[in-house]
Every structure is written in C-alpha cells, then in structure tokens.
Structure 1
C-alpha cells in the first residue's frame, strides 16, 4: 500500500519564481551594496582627469551632491575640465593629484601672466604651496632683449617683463621701464629663476587644498566620500575591499542558488514522471469486469489493491417447494445471497490519508451520505464502481445487503 502525491503546475511555477528571486539577489542586491553612487566620472572618453570626491560634476545630476563645497567642476563642449575660482574666473584643469591634494591650472586664452596679475584665491578652498612676488614691467621694445618677454601682453612698441628681484626691478624703472603691476605668483618647486626673471611664466598654476584632508585615506589606496547624505562627515572606503565583498557575495549566492535549483528540478522531474506513469494506468479496471474505477481522481488517499473479480453468477435453480433461492433482490433480477455478498466484498476500498479531502463527484466530499459522519484519517471507504460514489465500507455493506442501489443516485450497483 503506497501513498501517491501529485505535483501540479503551480508547484513548477513556485520553483521557477524562487529561482528568479535568487538570480535577482545574485546580480542586483550585491551591486546595490557595493556600488557607490558617487563614482568616478570624466568629461570625455579621451579625458585623463578623473573627477571624484572632493570634486563633483555640475552637468551630472547624480554627481552634484558628491563633492565638497568649492570643488565643483564642469565640462566644455570639447571635453575640457573647468574649475571656477570665485574672484579669479574660470581655468582649465590640466591635472589633479588626489594623493598630494594638488591641481594644475592653465588659462583657456593662453595668456596666464595676465590672469596671474589679477589672481585672488580668497573665497576658494585652494592655496599656493609655493609662491613668489613678481613685478611686471613695461619697457620699450628697442631697449629690451627678446629673452623673458611675455608675448601676450606685449605689442609692437612696448614689451612686458616679469621679475621677482626688487633690486633689478628698481634698476629697470630708473632707466626706461615702468611698473604696471605686482602679483603673488604660484610656482612649482621645479621652476628656478634665471637672470632676475622667469624664463617662462606661462606655465601651469599649481594649487593645493587642505580641507577635506584625505591624504591618509589615499595613502591606503582608499577613496574619500561623505559617510551619508545627511552629514558632511568624511569617511574612507576601500574600493578593492568593496569589490572583494561583492565577489564573495556572488560566490555565496551561487553556492546556494545552483544546488537549490538543481535539487528542485530533480524533484519536479521525478514527481512529473510518477504522475505520467499513474496517468497511463488510470483507465485500467480495478474491480468487477462490468465496471472500472479511476485512481486519478483522488488526492491524499491510499488505494488498496482490489480482490480478484467474482465468478459469473450461476443460473437460478428452484428448490423442491418450487421457489427460487434468493438473497438480495434487485429491481430487475434476482441475485443469490452468497453471490451478492461476493460482489459487495469485491468493490474497491480506500484508506483516508492525511488530507482527508476527496475530489470524486460525491454529494458531500468529506461526509458519508449514509451515516452523515465526516471521514477521518485511516477510515476505510468503499467505492460503488458504476457511479463512483464513496461511503464508509461498513455503512455501504449494510445498505447493499438490503438494497442494491446507490444511496445517492439510486443506480443499480450489481448490473447495468
């Protein structure tokens, strides 16, 4: 005696939906954990200047809140990176060092000395790591050699020179030059003055910043960022650690997803195979040759193997008194008592399983129509083959010994 359990189509749907959810957790959820919204961006594919904290890009709506105040950048149509200093205007960004917290600027109009004469870093987070005070002189062209001339400020009659040496500037003004301005010029440590003035003052402007201080984080190959959107506190994240955590999350999710799906698929195939094998034998007769009973209509029941079919009824014989030996009487023919009992006992039986639920076309699926009691687990039921109705075995046996018709549909249970 075995218990048959069928896997319906919804079970396969549940299995596939679980697999889809696991795939979502695999590819989406780890990305949500490790992906930082303030990632590194560039002004163009050819640009070599990475834009990340403390800088932000104005034209990118997802990047505007990623920078520190005063570090806003924008891009030109040609892919140039632009920094605007409040009191000095816009400069192109040549390079940036996040480890040293330095930037190098140059003039979009290619006349940096003119911009240096008006350079004012107040109101910006940037300062000059090294600077010298220069005096700008305008001298007659016929009285000055070509070395050190600032071409973009000179003309056909006068040339402009710049010197950091006040004595040399005083000497030149006493002869034929005049002072047109002074400025604190940021210089690099690599630049060395020559003959009292710079050979080339049109080099890049080196500037640095001190707040926010991310040198320690950068030295550990980390990336500075805000700890959260609601606070301006600075934190340090390790991108390699984040990528490693993402990889570990993917491996763990795969180790759970693939075995679970394989196991579920195996169970589904096994149960589907069992269902197919039962369906192929569902039309076979299980009782008297005059009728058949299908097992496919039951869910949660265990089928008992039916007894062998009874022999055909012998012809009636009259006794000495001239009356026939009769047991149970049908509406159309007489059946001997011993033969009727054999037919009654040959009807198929069922044992109620855990579900206690019947799907046959019985008037009351869970109630015996004779005693009006609900079926309980391990109750033995008997099926009337012609109409497929079920009752308690004891109840229907007593009924059929009196009447040979179904208590529900009133069809004869012995003969068509």
Structure 2
C-alpha cells in the first residue's frame, strides 16, 4: 500500500485534508458572523456635539446595517453635520432629539427663507413638525416700517421681501403697493394666530420629524436599536450556527467513509449473519427529528395583543428570540406549561428546528406527552 509523506494511506490523507478545509471554512464563517453582529457604535463629527446613531448613520464611518434608508448624514468642513434632502439639497444639522424623533436643520448660507421657497420633502422620510400657510410679498422699501420684519437676505435697497401668516394683512398690503410673490405651506417652529397682522423673518431652524422607524419605546429604555427585523436577525443567527455544524458533519462523514472503505479489517461484505441457519437482519438506523411538526405547533395558543400590550405568563415586553418590542396587534404564540410567549412567526420557525423552549429549555412536546400519560 502506498503511503503519503505523513505515513498514512492517501485516502485517509485526502479525508483529513477535506475535514481540515471544512473546519477552516467554518471558523472563517463564524468570524464573519461575529463581525456582522457587532453592535452599532455612536459616531461624532469631530468636536460637533451631535451624536450620530440609529436610525442615522455617518457616511463612510458606520456600517449600512446601522441606519434606516434615507437617514445618511455627512461630516463637512468645520465639524458640521449635514443632511442631504433628495429635492432640496444640503442642510446643516443643529440637533437631533432621538426620544422625540425630531431633527433641527438650518441653512449653510444663512438664508433659510430662500430655501423654504423651494423646499420639497416628498422623497425623504421626514415631515414637518408644524406647517402653516405664509404669504410672501414684494414691497417698496419706503413703505416698510419698523412694524414689519423684512427678510434681509432676500431684500435689497429698493424692495423688501415680507412674509406673513395673516391673510387679512397680505390682502391689505397687496391692495396698496405690494405684490404677492407666492403663498406656501412651510415648516415653522411654532404656529401663529391668523389674526396677528405681523410679518416674520422665518430664520428659525426647520423642525422635522419621522414616522418610521418608531424608536420612542427603545429610547425610553436607554437602548439603541440595530437596523433589521427581529426575524431576519434570528435567521442570520440560525445560519451562522447551522452552516458550520453542517460542514463539520460532512467532514466527519467523509473521514468515516474513507476509513471504512480503505480499511479491510473494518469491511463486512455480508449484510446478514447466519446463526443456526437463521438469517439475522442488522438493525436499521433510526432517524431522529429534532423539531416539532406543524400540527403540534399550530395547537399552541395564539393571541393578538391589544392596546395595553399586556403579555400573559412570565414574560416581559421584549421577545427573547428577535429582541423586538411587543406592539399592539402583534400575533403572539404561548408555549403550554411554561407559558413563555414569543412572536408567532419567530417561535414557529424555532420549533420547526428545535423542540425546546428558547427560554427555559423545556420540551413542550415531552410535557404534553407526560400530561396525557398521567392518570386522572
């Protein structure tokens, strides 16, 4: 028999090489999974005191997994944080209130009213906190008195640009020597009364908010959410565990195959042994199913959460599998006996692969069987 330089048959050397390759691949895959699962960090733009974290991300510094689409922020010159709106260009960020889900913006060139005339938020995830109709007027400078606040960055030596939320004042001035430029719904820091015949400089920061994602509950608990649905995270974790385990099983199987195939002392050409003239059939391997069948899973109680978000049994407000908050109208499945509850889609997929409760590691199927066998 020919041997390799290591002193073992070539077949066994090949099996060891395949097994080592699969182990190395599994290690690299687990390392990649661990890197992908690193928590999202908080970024700062130089000495700027605005923290950048989920749902926002600093471009070029934080992972794309740590932001929500449309929430990319840039770090400009002089440590300025800026947000680029699809149809309206760049605005500097003054502040971000994560708990209230509000962001304050101002114009880099210092003429915010000019930007308001062409502001378009339709392709962004943001909406104005307050909006109000304003009439913009072009008036001769000589009729502008100290009573009115002109928009300096739009005015010149002969014309003054005014803005007012009072339709009555706008009509009164238009009937004299002023000309109405446009009437727009614009974001404002606070609403004014329609009967206040005043003009505004409109130089306060733009206050915007967002409806998705909803991070208020997470912020109240001091947490920082990572982008991605709970079920997707669960699938990634399952894949990171299952693929290396499968690779290891294949390697062991290949090694055992070559061991048995090329070791004559282990080969048995007779699948049946004769004992006193009677043929004895060797026992067949038993297939073990680790998960539960669909009928058993569907037999477990399902409930729809109401407005109170009250979860029955020994549970808290967060799903142990996907780590997401329970919300109103979520579908919850409760495991019998231990009464631990989970999102239905999360626990269903878990029980198809594992018959144990993820929290207490008890088998609901075994408990059900024991309860059926107990005498009444």
Q: TM-score, normalised by structure 2?
A: 0.50
Structure (1 or 2) with the larger CA radius of gyration: 1
Q: TM-score, normalised by structure 1?
A: 0.45
